[in-house]
Amino acid sequence: MLRKFIYLFILAAALSPQSILAQTSVSTPEEYFPDLKTILINLPATSPDLRAEGSNVEEREANLDSAKSYGGPKVTGFARLQAQYETRINSEVSYEENLTIGPYANITASVPIFHWGEIKARIDTEKSRVESAKERTLQRAAEIRQDIRRSYIEYQLALKAADIARDDIANAEKERAGMLELADKGMLPKEDLAEIDIYIQSRREDLAYAQSQSEYFLGELGKSSGVRSLEIAEAPLPQIRIPTEEQLLDLRNAAACANLPSIEALEAELAAEKASCREISSRNKPKIDALISGNLDYIDEYRSESTYENVPRTYAWGGIQASWTMYDSGTNDADKRSSLARQRRINTRIEQAKQAQIHDVDNIVNDARLNASRAETRRKRAELMKMSVEMIESHVTAHDVSANELFQRKLDLRRTEMDLLRAEFSCMLDVAQLREIVGFCKNK
C-alpha cells in the first residue's frame, strides 16, 4: 500500500505543471533579456489597462461590502419643524382654535432576522462578481505580457537588422572603392559598379525599414507597458533552443486542460447570476425584522373647563415586524425569466470558450512546429548560401561570374539570416505563450 502511494505521488509530481515547465528547454524571452523582465515585473504599477482592471476589482469589492452590510443593523431617523392649525366643525365641546409650531422627530433601529436567503444570495452574487473581475484581470495581464514579449523581440530583431545593414553598407562601400580603382584601370567591367550600387541601395532600404520597425515596436512597448519615455538598449541575441516534438506535446496537453482565467471569469459570472436568481425568488416572501422606534411630537392635552393645551410628547416602541409584497404586477417573474436567459447565455459562452481554448492551443502548437521547421530549413539554407557566396566570389575575381549574381546572393543570405532569427524567436514566443497558459493550472 505504501509503495502504491509513493508511486502515485511521483506520478502526480511528474504530471504537474511545474514539472512540465521544467522539462521544456526553451526559455521565455524575459529569462534572456533583463530589460524585458523589469518591464514585466513593473507592469501592474505602470500598465493603464491593468490599473483600470484593478479599479474594477475594487468596485466589485466595495459592492460586496455593501451586500454584507445589508444584513446588519440599520438606524434611520428624520426631523421636521411643522406648523399645525386646528379648528373643529360642529363640535359640541368648547374649544379654542389654535396654531402650534413645533418639532416632530423619529428614530428607528431595525435588524433583519429572517429574509428567506435574500441576504446570503446578495453576498454570493457580489462574491462571484469579485472573482470574475479578478480572473479577467489575470487574463488581461497574460495578454499584455505576451504583447510586450512580442514587441520587445521585434524591437531587438529590428535593431539587429539595422546593425547588419550598416555593416554591409560600410563593407560594400569599401569594396566599391576598390572596384572603382580596378575599373579605372580597365581591369573590371563598369557594369559591376552598377551592381554594387544596386546592392548598397537595397541595403539602405533594409536599414531604413529596420529603423522604422524599431521605432514602431518601441512605441508599442511604451503603449502596452504604460511607460511613456521608454529607453531600451540593444541586447545580444541568445542562441535559441528549439523544443522537441515531445516537449511541445507535453505543453499542449497541459495547456489544453488549464483553467484559463477567461473561462473562470465566465463561470464566476454564472455563479453570480444563479445567486441573483435566488435573490429574486426571495423578494415576495415574508421578511421578518426586529424594530425599535422613538418619536417626539406635540399633542392636545385636555384641561379643566373643556380646554386643551398643546404639549410635547415622547414615546418609544419595539417589536417584531413581518412584511411582504402581496402583488407586484409580475415584475419578479419577468426578472427571473431574464436571469434564467442570462444563465443559458453564459453556459453557452463557457462551452464556446472551452472549445476555443483547445483550438487556440492547437494553433499555437502548430505555429511553434511551423517556426521550428522554418528555423531548421533556413539554417540549412543559410549554410548553403554562405558556401555559394564564397564560390561565387572566387569566380567573380576570375571574371567567370557577373557581380550581379554575387551581390544578389549576399542580399539573399542576409535576409535569410534575419528570417532564421525571426523563426527561432517566434518559436520561443509560442512556447512562452503555452507556458503562460500552463501556469494557470491549479487544483480545484
Residue that finishes a domain, picked among 323, 339, 373: 323
Non-local CB neighbours of 155 within 8 Å, separated by 6+ positions: 213, 214, 217, 218, 221, 232
* Judgement on whether residues 256 and 235 belong to the same structural domain of the protein: yes
* Judgement on whether residues 397 and 418 belong to the same structural domain of the protein: yes
Residue that finishes a domain, picked among 301, 323, 345: 323
Task: Please report the pLDDT score of residue 143 as a whole number.
Answer: 95
**Pairing, β 287-303 against β 98-114:** antiparallel
Structural domain total, the chain:
2
Summarize pLDDT for 147-189 with one digit per residue, the tens: 999 999 999 999 999 999 999 999 888 888 877 876 777 666 7
**32 inside domain:** yes
* Judgement on whether residues 97 and 241 belong to the same structural domain of the protein: no
* Judgement on whether residues 94 and 133 belong to the same structural domain of the protein: no
* Judgement on whether residues 281 and 295 belong to the same structural domain of the protein: no
Confidence grade of residue 93 (pLDDT, cut at 50, 70, 90) = low
**19 inside domain:** no
* Judgement on whether residues 387 and 292 belong to the same structural domain of the protein: no
* Judgement on whether residues 100 and 187 belong to the same structural domain of the protein: no
Summarize pLDDT for 250-298 with one digit per residue, the tens: 999 999 999 999 999 999 999 999 999 999 999 999 999 999 999 988 7
* Judgement on whether residues 312 and 235 belong to the same structural domain of the protein: no
Residue that finishes a domain, picked among 306, 323, 340: 323
Task: Please report the pLDDT score of residue 351 as a whole number.
Answer: 97
| Percent above pLDDT 70 for the chain | 86
* Judgement on whether residues 267 and 174 belong to the same structural domain of the protein: yes
Please tell me whether residue 382 adopts helix, strand or coil conformation: helix
Task: Please report the pLDDT score of residue 211 as a whole number.
Answer: 97
Rounded to whole angstroms, the Cα distance separating 21 from 440 reads 12
**17 inside domain:** no
**54 inside domain:** yes
* Judgement on whether residues 298 and 282 belong to the same structural domain of the protein: no
**316 inside domain:** yes
Task: State the pTM of this model.
Answer: 0.82
Q: In which domain, by residue range, is 195 found?
A: 26-70+117-286+331-438
CB 175 within 8 A of CB 406: no
Q: Which of 344, 335, 337, 339 is CA-nearest to residue 283?
A: 335
Task: Please report the pLDDT score of residue 374 as a whole number.
Answer: 95
Task: Please report the pLDDT score of residue 396 as a whole number.
Answer: 63
**371 inside domain:** yes
Task: Please report the pLDDT score of residue 26 as a whole number.
Answer: 59
CATH number at residue 279: 1.20.1600.10
